[in-house]
């Protein structure tokens, strides 16, 4: 039995009843499909009519979805935002703002930018469809989380049994069990495609906020990190870390292996490319098309919540090397910052494209693409 905890905060009894009935109906409909997977979902719906009632016991509850009004009482004090403010101190929980004031702009506070907020104005739109999407989103997350935890336990024991014998247990690092399991599980998850790739935003598969691990220094970088330089120098802009992580990662017991980091520039706009500054727009576009065809550049679609543009161009010809100590110091004083990470194996794919381009400098093309296709035809008979 999987439980879905839904908290409803609204001072209108009719609104609470509507959200409760819809939630129960949605869970009942979803259970028809979930039961075929051996899963039954039980909703636990808890209503609250005041903000104070809700905040009083917030630390004792673990809501999976929150439905909240913004304006309470005749004064319309917008105290619903204080609830959302409290949620930012916990895990990111889907928040459905069901309110007559749902169209009001979000507060300017930075904390709200990382919240998953879905707004629906009372009396308008298809509230049930919105609520269903949110509930299904969180349920699938819960079920996948449970599966990952179960797989983690299984893989941990299996890994230990097959790789470590009785005499070695006394001398191995006591973190080896979790480390090996996490490595194997990560590899499994990264190589399993989504169930329905057509519904996955392509950028959500490989570009994430920067990865931070408690056992790794915040000032180290890894292959795939995208760094932003704020300094008023020729390095100002975005850079992709192309040096292998095994040479970069360090912690209390380990030093990094390289003195310099290999960086590839990233651009939001064709006019920003250093090599093309001052050239006519038409010429720049033609050059970019040629570079993409020759695989000396790569374009990726990016999340707008991380970048100011939906696309990034990685330009291999302008690579730079920067001392690691310089990067470490810059990250400490915030003149540089990590803004994203490209996941494996996509980071390695970009790295391989650069290596291919770099290693063939000065090597003439064998022939045209059309001519090579005739070779293929002749070879295949």
Q: Which CATH superfamily is domain 2-136 in?
A: Response regulator (3.40.50.2300)
Non-local (6+) Cβ contacts of 169 within 8 A are none
Q: Give residue 140's pLDDT.
A: 85
Query: What's the whole-number mean pLDDT along residues 19-25?
Result: 93
Q: Give residue 375's pLDDT.
A: 76
Query: What's the whole-number mean pLDDT along residues 18-42?
Result: 88
CATH 1.10.569.10 fits 206-361, yes or no: no
Average pLDDT over all residues of the chain: 80
Name the packing angle between helices 127-163 and 176-190 (round to 10°). Answer: 130
What is the domain partition of the chain in residue ranges?
Answer: 2-136, 144-193, 206-361
* Better pLDDT: 218 or 377: 377
As beta bridge partners, residue 117 has 95
Query: What's the whole-number mean pLDDT along residues 275-300?
Result: 89
Q: Give residue 233's pLDDT.
A: 92
Confidence grade of residue 238 (pLDDT, cut at 50, 70, 90): very high
DSSP codes, 280-319: -HHHHHHHHHHHHHTTSEEEEE--TTTSSSSEEEEEGGG-
Non-local (6+) Cβ contacts of 214 within 8 A are none
- Evaluate if residue 188 carries a pLDDT over 70: no
pLDDT tens figures, 295-328:
889 998 888 778 878 888 999 989 999 998 899 8
Least confident window among 18-27, 29-38, 87-96: 87-96
pLDDT tens figures, 34-68:
887 788 888 899 898 887 888 777 777 788 888 88
- The model's pTM is 0.68
């Amino acid at each position: 039995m999987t439980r879905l905890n839904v908290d409803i905060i609204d001072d209108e009894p009719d609104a609470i009843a509507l959200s409760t009935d819809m939630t129960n109906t949605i869970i009942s409909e979803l259970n028809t499909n979930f039961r075929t997977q051996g899963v039954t979902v039980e909703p636990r719906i808890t209503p609250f009519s005041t903000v104070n009632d809700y905040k009083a016991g917030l630390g004792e509850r673990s809501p999976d979805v929150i439905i909240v009004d913004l304006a309470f009482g005749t004064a319309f004090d917008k105290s619903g935002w204080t609830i959302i403010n409290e949620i930012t101190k916990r895990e990111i929980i889907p928040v459905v703002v069901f309110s007559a004031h749902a169209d009001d702009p979000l507060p300017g506070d930075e904390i709200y930018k990382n919240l998953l907020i879905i707004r629906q104005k009372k009396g308008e739109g298809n509230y049930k469809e919105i609520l269903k999407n949110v509930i299904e989103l969180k349920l699938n997350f819960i079920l996948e989380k449970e599966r990952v935890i179960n797989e983690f336990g299984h893989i941990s024991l299996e890994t230990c049994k097959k790789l470590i014998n009785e005499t070695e247990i006394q001398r191995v690092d006591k973190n080896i069990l979790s480390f090996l399991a996490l490595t194997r599980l990560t590899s499994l998850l990264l190589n399993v495609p989504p169930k329905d790739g057509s519904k996955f935003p392509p950028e959500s598969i490989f570009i994430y906020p920067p990865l931070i691990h408690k056992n790794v220094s915040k000032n180290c970088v890894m292959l795939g990190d995208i760094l932003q330089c704020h300094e008023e120098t020729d390095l100002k802009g975005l850079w992709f870390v192309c040096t292998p992580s095994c040479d970069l990662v360090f912690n209390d017991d380990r030093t990094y292996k390289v003195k310099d980091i290999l960086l590839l520039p990233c651009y939001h706009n064709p006019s920003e490319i250093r090599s093309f500054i001052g050239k006519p727009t038409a010429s720049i576009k033609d050059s970019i098309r040629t570079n993409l065809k020759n695989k000396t550049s790569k374009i990726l679609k990016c999340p707008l919540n991380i970048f100011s543009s939906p696309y990034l161009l990685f330009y291999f010809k302008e690579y730079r090397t920067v001392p690691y100590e310089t990067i470490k110091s810059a990250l400490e004083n915030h003149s540089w910052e990590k803004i994203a990470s490209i996941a494996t194996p996509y980071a390695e794919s970009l790295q391989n494209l650069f290596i291919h381009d770099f290693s063939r400098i000065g090597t003439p093309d064998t022939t045209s693409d059309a001519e090579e296709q005739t070779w293929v035809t002749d070879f295949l008979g």
